[in-house]
């Protein structure tokens, strides 16, 4: 079971870095690298659901141009919204 979870986290890290738009690739990629290894299975599920959303919708939520819909308004999304990319740089 632990191997399945580790493989899922690895896949989500990859997907986070290869969204399609450079801005989201950078933001979500760095967020995933810093946070996914420390998330619970339930949090991983919420993060995966966010990644399933439309690319443009995610961008608008993170840019504050549209409100986050109720199905994604959770602690994981709030962590993404408060993530400071400048502090995550190596």
Helices (H), the chain: 2-17, 22-35, 41-52, 55-63, 75-82, 85-88
- The C-alpha atoms of residue 64 and residue 33 are separated, in whole angstroms, by 23
Name the residue among 48, 46, 51 with its Cα closest to residue 70.
Answer: 46
For the chain, 90 residues long, the average pLDDT of each consecutive 10-residue run is 83 95 94 97 97 96 96 97 72
Domains of the chain: 2-88 (1.10.150.250)
User: What pTM was estimated for this model as a whole?
Assistant: 0.89
pLDDT at 86: 60
pLDDT at 7: 95
């Amino acid at each position: 079971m632990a191997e399945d979870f580790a493989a899922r986290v690895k896949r989500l890290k990859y997907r986070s870095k290869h969204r399609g738009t450079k801005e989201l690739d950078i933001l979500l990629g760095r967020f995933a690298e810093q946070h996914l290894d420390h998330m619970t299975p339930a949090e991983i599920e919420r993060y995966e659901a966010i990644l399933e959303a439309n690319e443009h919708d995610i961008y608008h939520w993170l840019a504050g141009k549209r409100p986050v819909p109720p199905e994604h308004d959770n602690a994981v999304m709030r962590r993404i919204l408060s993530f400071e990319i400048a502090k995550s740089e190596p």
